[in-house]
Structure 1
Amino acid sequence: MLAIFALVAALSLACGPAVAATPPVPADGQPPSGAPAPGLARFYDQHLSWGSCAPFATTPADKQAYTAPRLQCAYLEVPENYANPGGATVRIGLLRVPASDPAHRIGSLVMNPGGPGASGMSTAASFAAQVAATDLGRRFDFVGFDPRSVASSQPAVLCETPAEQDAERAADLSADTSPSGVAKLEAQEKTDNAECVARTGTGTGLLANIGTRDVARDLDVMRAALGDQKLTFLGYSYGTRLGTAYAEAFPHNVRAMILDGAIDPAQNPIDRNVDQVAGFQKAFDAFAAFCTRRSDCALGTDPARAVAAYQALTRPLLDHPAPTADGRTLTYDDATIGTITALYQPAGWQTLNTGLAELARGRGDTLMKLADAYDNRSPDGSYGNDTAAFTAISCVDDPPVTDRATARALDARDRAAAPFEDSGRPPSDALGQCAFWPVPPTTQPHVPNVSGLPPVVVISTTGDPATPYRSGVNLAKDLGARLLTVQGTQHTAFLQGITCVDSAGVAYLTSLTLPAKGMVCAAS
């Protein structure tokens, strides 16, 4: 099962108007029939040198996956700062699976799996065998990319060493909401930020131009370098935010888009955070209903008491972390992250029950493995740069909360929306890492302006824990898109084995046939 992660509790948060006067990315790219903007011709006209993917692997899993046949990889060069195209450059890693029926090839299907900070190359490699036997694999080059700063892209954002990440997880500083605990947490956040600047190796240059605004510009350079007159795009979760930004900046360059698991760009990010937390509570309640029907449920037999049973298992970790087989200890925060990871898809529910049953016996192994999956920690102790990239991108995509009263009120709202995550300690007024970020944000919440955009498709799932259904409804309205509703409890739906969804999506991408108005598919 593909793990597609959206924005969770570490969202950069903002108060402010829901409408911006201008789109976040100026329409300064290359129209299909026009010339590149001044200084960008060499990027738009570049030739991609496709070859072995082995040098692009940054994790043990990728080293194995990138040896699969038919995979090809290349670097795309883009400006670090589009306002200064003659300055420093960034290399974007690309992975493609060439269309198996070249005679009927449509073009490239470019995908982004979410995050922000997830590797599109890794995800495309994991999809390769699945799409090979479909019209997508026959008629499209299936392309994944690592956005600027992510995984194989160079330079990548680097903040903490693996040992430092393990130590920070073990310290669980966010659990202490006292004034001294808040001071320790914020001191660590400031240290982490300084390390991001120092270890990324470009000062604040890359960090200032790392957000969705600039990745959308990279995507248009990519379109041209791939030889496509117009872009065909598949975006999951955060990838819907990227797709929306591209649609605003380059509406006439879009051929087709599927945006699955939508983020509503017009929503105040504070409300977005609370809605997401409430979504995970709904998913927890669905898990509890599943679990309490089983004789081995770690939460007992009464779904109405499942939250209390869960709290009784996890709250003791605040003072007494549980041991694991590799010598680490499971903290309260890691137990919560592990739980959230399992709630993304029903396929994770049995694993979650196993982890909670282990915790009842005083062990933390399974929940730690789930938290490791979320943090992209490999069994050898190495980490991907997902967490660093997530923070860096989030901090420039939305203005942060800098007011302690607002931070405390938000923590209280989150606890009310998702009581399974309530530690029982007083709400915290700690500011998030983005409050101390060294460069300012580059976008604001706004209603997207997409004049000239062709019909696109938004897929939204009724019980999506990470990107609530209503966000998809709103995004479809704002884009003038066709909404496909999926009934189920999971995060995203396309290419996940739901025949109704997959058939509609493939028909749209290949022939531009929109799903029927009001179409509803069942997840199971």
Structure 2
Amino acid sequence: MAVTLTGTVLLVSGCTALTPGGGAQEPAESLGALGDLAEQELDWGPCDGGPSEAECATYEVPLDYDEPEGERIEIAVKRMAATGDDVIGSLLVNPGGPGGSGYDFVDHASFIVSEQVRERFDLVGFDPRGVGRSTPITCLPAEELDDFIGGEAESADGDGDMSELTEAGVADMEEGSREFVEACQANAPDLMLNVGTVNVARDMDVLRALLGDEKLTYLGASYGTHIGAHYAEQFPDRVRALVLDGAVDPTLDQLDLSVAQATGFETALRAFVEDCLTRTDCPLGGNGDSVEDGVAALDGFLARTAREPLHNSMDDREINRARAELGVLAALYSESWWERVREGLDDAMSDGDGTVLLQLGDELYSRGDTQEYENSTAALIAVNCSDSPSPRGVEAYVEAAEEAGEESPIFGPSLAWGALPCAFWPEEAVYDGGPLDAPGAPPIMVVGTTRDSATPYAWAEALAGALESGFLVTRDGDGHTGYRMGDACVDRMVDAYLIDLEVPRDGMACA
């Protein structure tokens, strides 16, 4: 099978400082019901890799918070001390996913936040439960995961169009999704029931208390916004400041998210093609061609790879349409990848060499070498399927693939099919707790980018609107997320909010 697994404008001038909402909490108060876990200490020591100034530790949390004295799992955490003397506290960070490593994210401190923020906060990242160095969830082995991600189902016209699968193709998709879930049940039967974001937020509150912070200061990107929203919902009086950048819409189930995401990728694709056509080395056409011409050229190329796979110089994997699509999809996450994807397309379209496209797809799915993946794909599916109910009938996914194909003909159908494992996820693992509006929380910043691929701008509008105290900051640009992406106005607003709790006045806009 083949799947793609994937998520008001204000101005810096004229800000008012707000006092944090809610009464002060003793740091350990949130641990009172967790017995001896409240007595843990973070035993900081050298890290296994990363900057020499970083320090690392682990702490324990309940596998199931309904049974706090039951089985425990481990959470890995990394800290980079503030560079200045006037330290406000800890800034917890998460890069998204689900499945992204907050532990590794801290290594890129100078990219994540500004120098001013680094001076005032200890930067702290953790691997959420099920991810990486924390107690990880594992499902399929690498060889079978290769087939799950890069295999192709039979399409009606033979060009790999996943909006028009044959009956056999649909059956193949269903079989692959069932096998994935069955592998999770065989390898992690208890953990898969407890990896949802509601529990990740609880783990983060334990960390906040163990760090000695009365209230949480947090920067979450992409899926990390969902962690932050869940935290505010459960612990509104423990929020100091939350920056939720590249927001996930909390009102949509996984299948609806996948279909809606197609609009973001289509917008980003057209921006990539438009830029490509202005360059002399664009493999999709030249200055005289329209964006529609360039998209058509890409679609035709991908259709050919379904019939005549590309070769590569890395290993024996066949680069079919599914793998070529993933390589191109990489371009839509950041402008910094556009040059490399153009190179990969040129190699593929001129010489039939898909090596660069394969490498880009591997990077998206954390395939660190030719033999193994990180566990981010298992974590991604497990968390997505646990976070909201999804349709249980395969026909809903057939219809969704057709709908997504109308919004984004190239990427939409595979995005919709990527949600199919959720049809078979154990129902007792699924969160259905209603809206996330966090009543009583102090002002929460949501950052949205107008041409964001993975988390469409409309999702930022939805999250800011859903949160009782949410307010929206907009970056007009390309790529995924907004802070530290080249817009000085947005960066200044985020910094002022994190450091001084300044919130832009209503009606102001970044020019």
TM-score range, shorter chain: 0.7 to 0.9
Give the aligned residue type for 2:106.
A
Alignment partners' CA distance in 2, 1:76 and 1:497: 36
Preserved CA contact (<8 Å) 2:236 2:439: yes
Within the alignment, does 1:252 sit opposite 2:226 as a pair? Answer: no
Within 5 Å, give how 1:315-334 maps onto structure 2. Answer: 315-327=303-315, 328-334=317-323
Alignment partners' CA distance in 2, 1:99 and 1:267: 37
Alignment partners' CA distance in 2, 1:304 and 1:132: 38
Matching residue of 2:100: 118
Larger displacement relative to structure 2 (257-266 or 491-500): 491-500
Alignment partners' CA distance in 2, 1:267 and 1:397: 10
Within 5 Å, give how 1:476-515 maps onto structure 2. Answer: 476-479=464-467, 480-515=469-504
Question: 2:294 aligns to what SS in structure 1?
Answer: helix
Alignment partners' CA distance in 2, 1:421 and 1:316: 16
Structure 2, gaps ≥5 residues long: 8-23, 155-159
* Closer/same/farther in 2, CA of residues 69 and 42 from structure 1, 3 Å limit: same
Matching residue of 1:402: 392
Alpha-carbon offset, residue 473 of structure 1: 1.6
Deviation track 1:366-392 (CA, whole Å, cap 9, x = no partner) reads: 111110110111234321111010011
Deviation track 1:247-286 (CA, whole Å, cap 9, x = no partner) reads: 0000000000101011121235444322210111111111
Alpha-carbon offset, residue 191 of structure 1: 2.2
Alpha-carbon offset, residue 309 of structure 1: 0.6
Alignment partners' CA distance in 2, 1:90 and 1:123: 21
Alpha-carbon offset, residue 183 of structure 1: 2.4
Alpha-carbon offset, residue 356 of structure 1: 1.4
Question: 1:458 aligns to what SS in structure 2?
Answer: strand
Within the alignment, does 1:433 sit opposite 2:421 as a pair? Answer: yes
Alignment partners' CA distance in 2, 1:228 and 1:190: 43
Alpha-carbon offset, residue 47 of structure 1: 0.4
Q: 2:436 aligns with which of 426, 434, 448?
A: 448
Alignment partners' CA distance in 1, 2:330 and 2:179: 27
Q: 1:70 aligns with which of 53, 68, 82?
A: 53
Question: 1:322 aligns to what SS in structure 2?
Answer: coil
Within the alignment, does 1:158 sit opposite 2:138 as a pair? Answer: yes
* Closer/same/farther in 2, CA of residues 405 and 295 from structure 1, 3 Å limit: same
Alpha-carbon offset, residue 344 of structure 1: 1.0
* Closer/same/farther in 2, CA of residues 157 and 270 from structure 1, 3 Å limit: closer
Alignment partners' CA distance in 2, 1:469 and 1:443: 25
Matching residue of 1:40: 34
* Closer/same/farther in 2, CA of residues 259 and 519 from structure 1, 3 Å limit: farther
Q: 2:73 aligns with which of 71, 81, 90?
A: 90
Alpha-carbon offset, residue 130 of structure 1: 4.1
Alpha-carbon offset, residue 144 of structure 1: 0.7
* Closer/same/farther in 2, CA of residues 473 and 37 from structure 1, 3 Å limit: same
Preserved CA contact (<8 Å) 2:259 2:404: yes
Within the alignment, does 1:457 sit opposite 2:445 as a pair? Answer: yes
Alignment partners' CA distance in 1, 2:31 and 2:299: 56
Deviation track 1:457-484 (CA, whole Å, cap 9, x = no partner) reads: 1111111111111221222122222211
Preserved CA contact (<8 Å) 1:398 1:444: yes
Larger displacement relative to structure 2 (396-405 or 457-466): 396-405
The alignment covers a number of residue pairs equal to 479
Within the alignment, does 1:284 sit opposite 2:269 as a pair? Answer: yes
Preserved CA contact (<8 Å) 1:264 1:474: yes
Within the alignment, does 1:141 sit opposite 2:141 as a pair? Answer: no
Give the aligned residue type for 2:181.
N
Preserved CA contact (<8 Å) 1:213 1:442: no
* Closer/same/farther in 2, CA of residues 448 and 230 from structure 1, 3 Å limit: same
Larger displacement relative to structure 2 (180-189 or 402-411): 180-189
Within the alignment, does 1:50 sit opposite 2:44 as a pair? Answer: yes
Give the aligned residue type for 1:369.
Q
Deviation track 1:421-444 (CA, whole Å, cap 9, x = no partner) reads: 378x9x999981121223534323
Question: 1:330 aligns to what SS in structure 2?
Answer: coil
Within the alignment, does 1:350 sit opposite 2:342 as a pair? Answer: no
Deviation track 1:267-326 (CA, whole Å, cap 9, x = no partner) reads: 354443222101111111111111112222111131221221111111122232211001
Give the aligned residue type for 1:108.
S
Alpha-carbon offset, residue 170 of structure 1: 4.6
Q: 1:81 aligns with which of 43, 64, 67?
A: 64
Matching residue of 1:473: 461
Preserved CA contact (<8 Å) 1:267 1:445: no
Matching residue of 2:15: none
TM value normalised by structure 2 = 0.88
Preserved CA contact (<8 Å) 2:44 2:55: yes
Alpha-carbon offset, residue 35 of structure 1: 3.8
Alignment partners' CA distance in 2, 1:481 and 1:429: 32
Question: 2:100 aligns to what SS in structure 1?
Answer: coil
Larger displacement relative to structure 2 (322-331 or 389-398): 322-331
Alignment partners' CA distance in 2, 1:410 and 1:36: 42
Preserved CA contact (<8 Å) 2:221 2:244: yes
Alpha-carbon offset, residue 246 of structure 1: 0.5
Q: 1:211 aligns with which of 183, 193, 196?
A: 196
Question: 1:108 aligns to what SS in structure 2?
Answer: strand
Alignment partners' CA distance in 1, 2:28 and 2:313: 60
Question: 2:76 aligns to what SS in structure 1?
Answer: strand
Alignment partners' CA distance in 2, 1:335 and 1:313: 9
Percent identity over the alignment is 35
Preserved CA contact (<8 Å) 1:251 1:452: yes
Alignment partners' CA distance in 2, 1:165 and 1:429: 16
Alignment partners' CA distance in 1, 2:365 and 2:114: 32
Within the alignment, does 1:227 sit opposite 2:212 as a pair? Answer: yes
* Closer/same/farther in 2, CA of residues 298 and 191 from structure 1, 3 Å limit: same
Structure 1, gaps ≥5 residues long: 1-7, 13-29, 55-65
Alignment partners' CA distance in 2, 1:133 and 1:305: 41
Deviation track 1:400-419 (CA, whole Å, cap 9, x = no partner) reads: 22223322210111110002
Q: 2:355 aligns with which of 365, 379, 382?
A: 365
